[in-house]
Structure formats: C-alpha cells, structure tokens
Amino acid sequence: MMVIEQGLYSYVQPAPSIVSTATGSEALHMLMKQNEDADSAVVLGHNGTPVGVVMKTRFTALLRDPVGFDRLCQEPVTSFMLKPLIVDVETQLPELLDQAIRRPVMNRFDSIIIMQNGAVAGVIPSKQLAALFNL
C-alpha cells in the first residue's frame, strides 16, 4: 500500500482486491473470511487497473436467496461488481461528495476507489462516505 500524502488521505482505508477472472464465490470467501472488516473489494482488470467494486452487503443479500447462492458459485465476480466511482487522492472533498451524490440512489454509498499515481491507494468505504455526508 502506498503512502497518501494529500487530498483525501484521512478518509482512505486499505481495500482488498480481486482479479476480474475470479468467481463470485472466491470474492465472497475473500470478503467474508480473509477480510472480515472490509465492506468492499476492488475488482482489477488484466492490467491491474480497477474495473469494478463488489460490496459485501450485496453478497450477503444473495446468500439469503438459493438462486443467488447458486449464481455466486457459478458466475464470475464481474457479474456482481458495480461500476465504480474512481477519483484521484488529490480530489477535493466537496467534488468527491458531488460525484457520489450524482450516482443512482441505490449506489450512492458504495465504496469509492481512490487512486494515487495511477495505482489503487484504497477506498473510502460506505460507512465513512455516509459520515462525510453528515459533516
């Protein structure tokens, strides 16, 4: 993990990542067993750039449905990932919040991927994002 020196530094948290070729069940295992404190994972494409984000809450909702569980076991993680909001660490907080609020209501509080020097620096997780809206 790189050191973030400015901008959104105090809001960024480390995030697990998973490759886009992984299965939904691999992503679920990674989020539930290996990274219990994480609320999301960054999905990385073949060149290491972020292509999506998967939210733990959406996986747990799928687990409640037998059809959803079967899908998790059979389909790639890309079937469950969301289009991410990706911003640079130097983005100012008001701009970040403006971009977040423009997302569809059901995605408004999904984790935001933070980049620094072309690499994933971490995420602003959903709980942190909700707190920022209450500043």
0.85 surpassed by pTM: yes
CA–CA distance, 125 with 127 (Å, rounded to integer): 6
pLDDT digits (tens, 9 = 90+) for 70-94: 888 889 999 999 999 999 999 999 9
**CATH number, residue 76:** 3.10.580.10
- Structural domain containing residue 39: 9-133
What are the backbone angles phi and psi of residue 78, rounded to the nearest 5°?
-65, -20
| Domain membership flag for residue 110 | yes
| Domain membership flag for residue 81 | yes
133, with CB counted inside 10 A (0-12, 13-18, 19+), is: exposed
| Domain membership flag for residue 3 | no
Number of domains in the chain: 1
What are the backbone angles phi and psi of residue 17, rounded to the nearest 5°?
-130, 160
Token pair 């707190």 in the structure block, residue: 131
pLDDT digits (tens, 9 = 90+) for 98-109: 999 999 999 999
| Domain membership flag for residue 2 | no
